[in-house]
């Protein structure tokens, strides 16, 4: 069982996702970076489940997938709302409130 | 293998219907509101708030019967537990939920926005919180967390034609989803190390198993605690709070600052007490830093705020520090139960006084139309009752006896003082200094309202509504009662979580 390779892949995906969230300015790309982190979680869960021979990891991964779908639905709705009101989804320009 | 799986009949695990009755009631009322909305459309609008309020009160009935029954109920092999801790925190969520419905009634109705969906989402979020109290498994904690967060993202962006509300919603959403993704990564490591998603089994693995992967466990605990530190708005994960509170509808800000924060604490308590209690070398320093940073940073920034909702946000960050403080010494032998009951006491009292302060802010904003502290100047001339109650709640938040906040702070200090170690004492000193700083900005708001002249000498009285007045009355009675007769809350908050830790 090659657990390490899977964990390294997932850690790399996680790191790319975190970088994307912090560095990207476009709202949709930030959402996609968050999806990368969630997929890193899923790879972790499934490979640990196979390694440990325990079904709960796969069940957890299914829950993560289902909830992530709901989350992205809300997120896209919100970005659409922002686009309707501002004609722009650049996150650095959302700065009405500060302090 | 495949055929065997297919022919195997699905057997539903036994469900204790009495134990899940509170969740089912909330679900039923939420569905009922949606159905009524679909059938009666606009005609249903005036009744939705009442229906939602009644639904929340109806949910309290199974909680009372479960409490009188007094038996700990364990469902789904220990993933879902109804014990004293769960019932007490469920009661906090439901009572704050009811007060928030009272606060929302006029605000949402007069705002020309959708009403029925608002209460549907509020009930869904409350259901997530009620589930969180019972979740003793990584999967159910995650599902409860998302069930309470996703409706909250939508409620923050409720005023959809308002740019500030959009901005607040998007900020809250992006940071919230990011925090929960990082937390999930920590949970996946926790599952990988221990081979189980159940907190009690994780705990027995960490205690008995030959743990070789210390670094993975440390990383997992740090990620999980950081994810919930976002939910409770502890510094340095608090940056969303002021912007979101300012942009969101004010009742939603009250909801986030009380109920959502309490849900984060409930999850933290379950994870730390049931899941990794013996890992105190990891979580104690982490919580210590979070608590000290939240208190100091929250208070110092609150000093220079000109908008009262932003000030309440930073004061909420500081209060989070106080609530976290007992958790920083919770791993010390003999202090576990005392720390737990101090945190629960603080949560109950904080809910009452903070909701009270928000009730006054919402009432006064009906006249001033602004949340700037200056616009509340001279409120004593035209709304003496409101000003007196605002001073009452602010002094309670500052911790002046004989109000509830004083007893909450006293409990925190007594836990820290009995920790018998330098770090505990140091945190107590930091907390004491911060109590003094906090008094300054709370008192200066009260001074503006009592002493200054009203803007443009406009002395027309504020229009109160019966729901706002009853919300205010509930909060005031609870705040005063907890301060004068602290045994009431002390008696209920005297619960344990460790017995399940195995």
In tens, the pLDDT along B350-389 reads 999 999 999 999 988 888 878 888 888 888 888 888 889 9
Q: Which of A4, A87, A94 to mutate to test the interface with B (most CBs of B within 10 A)?
A: A94
The reply to whether A95 falls in a domain is no
Backbone angle region of B12, left / alpha / beta, with phi > 0 → left and psi within -120 to 50 → alpha: beta
In tens, the pLDDT along B234-253 reads 988 888 999 999 988 899 99
ipTM: 0.94
Report pLDDT for A1.
65
Enclosing domain of residue B315: 16-500
Residue A90 pairs in a beta bridge with A26
In the predicted structure, residue B229 carries a pLDDT above the cut 50: yes
The reply to whether B494 falls in a domain is yes
Q: What percent of chain B is modeled with pLDDT above 90? A: 37
The reply to whether A65 falls in a domain is yes
Report pLDDT for B1.
45
Which residue of chain B has the CA closest to A60?
B139
Report pLDDT for B371.
82
* Structural element, H or E, at residue B82: strand B80-82
CA atoms within 13 A on the CB side of B490: 14
The reply to whether B298 falls in a domain is yes
Among candidate residues B498, B396, B407, the one with its CA nearest the CA of residue B439? B396
What does DSSP assign to residue B258? I
B interface residues, A as partner, C-beta within 8 Å: 138-139, 142-143, 146, 150, 153-154, 157, 160-161, 163-164, 166-171, 173-174, 177-178, 181-182, 184-185, 187-189, 191-192, 195-197, 242-243, 246-247, 305, 310
Report pLDDT for A66.
94
Among candidates A18, A44, A70 on the partner chain, residue whose Cβ is nearest the Cβ of B150: A70
The reply to whether A80 falls in a domain is yes
In tens, the pLDDT along B71-93 reads 788 888 878 888 888 888 999 99
Among candidates B154, B166, B305 on the partner chain, residue whose Cβ is nearest the Cβ of A85: B166
Report the distance separating Cα B103 and Cα B371, nearest Å: 16
What's the rounded mean pLDDT across residues A68-95?
86
In tens, the pLDDT along B4-37 reads 555 566 777 778 888 888 999 999 998 998 888 8
Report pLDDT for B330.
84
In tens, the pLDDT along B316-356 reads 999 999 999 999 888 887 888 888 888 998 999 999 999 99
Phi and psi at residue B135, to the nearest 5°: -75, 120
CA distance B96 to chain A (A): 25
Enclosing domain of residue A59: 3-90
Report pLDDT for A65.
94
In the predicted structure, residue B502 carries a pLDDT above the cut 50: no
| 8 Å CB contact of B166 and A82 | yes
Report pLDDT for B7.
58
| 8 Å CB contact of B163 and A71 | no
What's the rounded mean pLDDT across residues B473-488?
86
Report pLDDT for B165.
87
CATH number at residue A45: 1.10.287.3510
Which chain A residues are within 8 Å of B195, Cβ to Cβ? 48, 52, 54
**What torsion, rounded to 10 degrees, do the Cα atoms B422, B428, B431, B436 define?**
-120
Q: What percent of chain A is modeled with pLDDT above 70? A: 97
What's the rounded mean pLDDT across residues B53-64?
90
Among candidate residues B22, B44, B24, the one with its CA nearest the CA of residue B33? B44
Report the domain count for chain A: 1
Report the domain count for chain B: 1
The reply to whether B4 falls in a domain is no
| pLDDT band at residue A45 using 50, 70 and 90 as cut-offs | very high
| 8 Å CB contact of B181 and A38 | yes
In the predicted structure, residue B108 carries a pLDDT above the cut 60: yes
Report pLDDT for B206.
82
Q: Average pLDDT of chain B?
A: 87
Give how far the C-alpha of residue B256 lies from the chain's centroid of Cα atoms, to the nearest Å. 7
CA distance A16 to chain B (A): 13
In the predicted structure, residue B456 carries a pLDDT above the cut 80: no
- Residue pair B237/B293 in contact (Cβ under 8 Å)? The answer is no
| pLDDT band at residue B419 using 50, 70 and 90 as cut-offs | confident
In the predicted structure, residue B180 carries a pLDDT above the cut 90: yes
Q: Report strand pairing: B73-75 vs B80-82.
A: antiparallel
| pLDDT band at residue B267 using 50, 70 and 90 as cut-offs | very high
In tens, the pLDDT along B387-413 reads 899 999 999 999 888 888 888 898 899
* Structural element, H or E, at residue B368: helix B336-368
What does DSSP assign to residue B392? H
| B114: number of Cβ within 10 Å | 15
What's the rounded mean pLDDT across residues A53-68?
91
In the predicted structure, residue B290 carries a pLDDT above the cut 80: yes
- Residue pair A13/A39 in contact (Cβ under 8 Å)? The answer is yes
| 8 Å CB contact of A74 and B154 | yes
| A55: number of Cβ within 10 Å | 9
Among candidates A44, A56, A70 on the partner chain, residue whose Cβ is nearest the Cβ of B189: A44
Of residues B35 and A88, the one with the higher pLDDT is: B35
Of residues B43 and B100, the one with the higher pLDDT is: B100
In tens, the pLDDT along B133-164 reads 989 899 999 999 999 999 999 999 888 888 88
| pLDDT band at residue B500 using 50, 70 and 90 as cut-offs | very low
| B392: number of Cβ within 10 Å | 22
Among candidates A37, A85, A86 on the partner chain, residue whose Cβ is nearest the Cβ of B185: A37
In the predicted structure, residue B498 carries a pLDDT above the cut 70: no
| pLDDT band at residue A2 using 50, 70 and 90 as cut-offs | confident
CA distance B493 to chain A (A): 32
In the predicted structure, residue B494 carries a pLDDT above the cut 80: no
The reply to whether B6 falls in a domain is no
Burial of B396 (0-12, 13-18, 19+ CB in 10 A): buried
The reply to whether A96 falls in a domain is no
- 3-state secondary structure string across A34-93: HHHHHHHHHHHHHHHHHHHCCCHHHHHHHHHHHHHHHHHHHHHHHHHHHHHHHCCCEHHH
| 8 Å CB contact of B305 and A99 | yes
Report pLDDT for B5.
56
Report pLDDT for B383.
85
Among candidates A44, A67, A81 on the partner chain, residue whose Cβ is nearest the Cβ of B192: A44
The reply to whether A99 falls in a domain is no
Phi and psi at residue B422, to the nearest 5°: -60, -40
Of residues B501 and B340, the one with the higher pLDDT is: B340
Burial of B10 (0-12, 13-18, 19+ CB in 10 A): exposed
Report pLDDT for B266.
93
What's the rounded mean pLDDT across residues A35-39?
93
List Cβ neighbours of B391 (8 Å cut-off, separation of 6 or more): B446, B449, B450
Report pLDDT for B80.
86
* Structural element, H or E, at residue B483: helix B466-484
Report pLDDT for B404.
85
The reply to whether B7 falls in a domain is no
Give how far the C-alpha of residue B107 lies from the chain's centroid of Cα atoms, to the nearest Å. 21
- Residue pair B223/A44 in contact (Cβ under 8 Å)? The answer is no
Report pLDDT for B81.
86
């Amino acid at each position: 069982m090659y657990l390490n390779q899977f964990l390294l892949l997932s850690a790399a995906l996680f790191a790319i996702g975190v970088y994307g969230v912090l560095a990207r300015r476009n709202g949709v790309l930030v959402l996609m970076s968050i999806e990368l982190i969630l997929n890193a979680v899923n790879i972790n869960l499934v490979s640990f489940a196979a390694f440990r021979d325990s079904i709960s990891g796969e069940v957890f991964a299914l829950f993560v997938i289902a909830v992530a779908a709901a989350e992205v639905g809300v997120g896209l709705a919100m970005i659409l709302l922002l686009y309707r009101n501002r004609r722009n989804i650049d996150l650095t320009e959302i700065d009405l409130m500060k302090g | 293998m495949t055929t065997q799986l297919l022919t195997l009949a699905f057997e539903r695990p036994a469900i204790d219907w009495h134990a899940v009755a509170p969740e089912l009631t909330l679900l039923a009322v939420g569905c009922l509101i949606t159905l009524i909305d679909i059938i009666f459309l606009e005609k249903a609008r005036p009744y939705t708030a009442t229906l939602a309020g009644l639904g929340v009160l109806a949910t309290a009935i199974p909680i009372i019967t479960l409490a009188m029954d007094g038996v700990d109920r364990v469902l789904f092999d220990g993933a879902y537990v109804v014990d004293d801790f769960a019932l007490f925190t469920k009661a906090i969520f439901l009572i704050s939920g009811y007060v928030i419905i009272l606060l929302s009634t006029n605000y949402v109705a007069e705002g020309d926005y959708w009403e029925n969906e608002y209460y549907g989402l509020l009930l869904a979020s409350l259901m997530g919180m009620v589930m969180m109290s019972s979740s003793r498994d990584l999967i159910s904690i995650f599902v409860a967390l998302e069930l309470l967060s996703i409706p909250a993202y939508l409620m923050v962006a409720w005023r959809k034609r308002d740019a500030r509300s959009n901005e607040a919603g998007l900020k809250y959403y992006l940071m919230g989803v990011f925090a929960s993704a990082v937390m999930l990564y920590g949970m996946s490591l926790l599952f990988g190390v221990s081979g189980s998603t159940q907190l009690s089994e994780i705990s027995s693995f960490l205690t008995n198993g030959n743990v070789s992967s210390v670094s993975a466990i440390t990383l997992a605990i740090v990620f999980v605690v950081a994810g919930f530190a976002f939910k409770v708005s502890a510094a340095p994960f608090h940056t969303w709070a002021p912007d979101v509170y300012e942009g969101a509808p004010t009742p939603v800000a009250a909801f986030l600052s009380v109920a959502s924060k309490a849900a984060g604490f409930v999850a933290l308590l379950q994870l730390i007490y049931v899941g990794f209690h013996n890992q105190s070398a990891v979580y104690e320093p982490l919580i210590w830093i979070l608590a000290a940073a939240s208190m100091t940073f929250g208070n110092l920034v609150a000093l220079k705020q000109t908008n009262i909702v932003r000030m309440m946000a930073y004061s909420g960050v500081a209060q989070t520090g106080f609530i976290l403080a007992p958790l920083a010494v919770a791993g010390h032998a003999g202090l576990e139960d005392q720390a737990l009951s101090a945190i629960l006491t603080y949560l109950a009292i904080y809910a009452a006084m903070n909701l009270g302060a928000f009730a006054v802010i919402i009432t006064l904003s009906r006249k001033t139309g602004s949340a700037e502290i200056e616009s509340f100047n001279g409120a004593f001339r035209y709304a003496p009752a409101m000003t007196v109650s605002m001073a009452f709640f602010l002094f309670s938040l500052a911790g002046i006896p004989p109000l509830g906040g004083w007893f909450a702070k006293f409990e925190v200090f007594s836990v820290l003082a009995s920790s018998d170690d330098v770090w505990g004492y140091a945190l107590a000193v930091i907390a004491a200094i911060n109590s003094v700083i906090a008094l300054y900005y709370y008192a200066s708001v009260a001074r503006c309202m009592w002493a200054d002249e009203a803007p443009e000498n406009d002395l027309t009285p504020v229009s109160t509504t019966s729901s706002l007045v009853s919300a205010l009355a509930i909060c005031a009675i609870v705040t005063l009662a907890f301060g004068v007769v602290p045994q009431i809350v002390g008696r209920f908050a005297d619960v344990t979580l460790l017995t399940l830790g195995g």
